[in-house]
Amino acid sequence: DARVTQTPRDKVTEMGQEVTMRCQPILGHNTVFWYRQTMMQGLELLAYFRNRAPLDDSGMPKDRFSAEMPDATLATLKIQPSEPRDSAVYFCASGFRQEQFFGPGTRLTVL
Amino acid sequence: GIQVEQSPPDLILQEGANSTLRCNFSDSVNNLQWFHQNPWGQLINLFYIPSGTKQNGRLSATTVATERYSLLYISSSQTTDSGVYFCAVVGGTSYGKLTFGQGTILTVHP
């Protein structure tokens, strides 16, 4: 049963610390997306990769967020330094053709 | 960018009842998906349906792309259907970016 995996599932950290979230897309999918879900903003796109190349990261605060795909089996989202307003659930999704499949999410709490 | 509106925002049902959820979008779409976010926060794919009609068990969906809306039907609802239902679309010029509606919160009572 192919599915997107994300680690860690929960992360509690203090303001100013670096946070790294990891995602393993479904094998064979050529697109990877990072979304963030908050009560106020709902679900919003942060970054988008196709064939490991970044295509759109306009939804991401550039000064503190970075997203990479070092290989086809790993996508990372890094926040440095983290702030309390970054507290949210971060979802990774992978896609084949047009359909997207979501991972279980990383719940981030920044104190 | 494309706008997605879902209605109703909240829905409360007794087990066994049927319901219809609606999704309106403001422009042409390349992709439309319905998701169920369960009480544990997981986003579960229900349908990939940029046009036409699909059925999966007690759930079915119809998208009329020319009129810019989609409907999700839930028949004989069960308590496990509770959660938030999201409609999400990829606009015609948006590459792969899914734009989500605000969701319909469904509560099914036994």
On the question of pLDDT at B96 being above 70, the answer is yes
- The residue of chain B with its CA nearest to that of A59 is B97
On the question of pLDDT at B94 being above 70, the answer is no
What does the alpha-carbon distance between residue A5 and residue A25 come to, in Å, rounded to a whole number? 7
Q: Are strands B10-14 and B104-109 parallel, antiparallel or unpaired?
A: parallel
Residue of A nearest to B44 (CA): A102
Residues in chain A where the model's pLDDT stays below 50: none
Name residue B57's beta-bridge partners.
none
- Side chain identity, residue B7: S
Beta bridge mates, B30: none
Q: Which residue has the tokens 């066994």?
A: B16
Q: What integer pLDDT is reported at residue B86 of this predicted model?
A: 97
> What pLDDT sits at residue B92?
76
d(C-alpha B100, C-alpha A90), whole Å: 15
Q: Share the mean pLDDT of chain A.
A: 94
Judge whether residue B93 has pLDDT over 80. no
Query: Which one of B46, B98, B100 would you mutate to disrupt binding with A, by most A Cβ within 10 Å of its Cβ?
Result: B98
pLDDT of residue B68: 97
Q: Quickly state the pLDDT bin for B53 (edges 50, 70, 90).
A: very high
| Number of Cβ within a 10 Å radius of residue B84 | 18
How high is the pLDDT of residue B62? 98
Residue of B nearest to A90 (CA): B41
Which residues of chain B have a CB within 8 Å of the CB of A102? 35, 42-43, 45
The rounded mean pLDDT for chain B is 95
Per-residue CA distances from B77 to A64, A104, B19, B100, B110 (Å): 44, 24, 8, 24, 10
Place of tokens 């309390």: A84
pLDDT exceeding 70 applies to what percent of chain A? 99
Whether the CB-CB separation of B37 and B83 falls below 8 Å is answered with yes
What's the mean pLDDT in B90-99? Answer: 80
- Range B92-104 average pLDDT: 85
Type of residue numbered A10: D
Residues with Cβ within 8 Å of residue B19, at least 6 apart in sequence: B11, B13, B73, B74, B77, B106
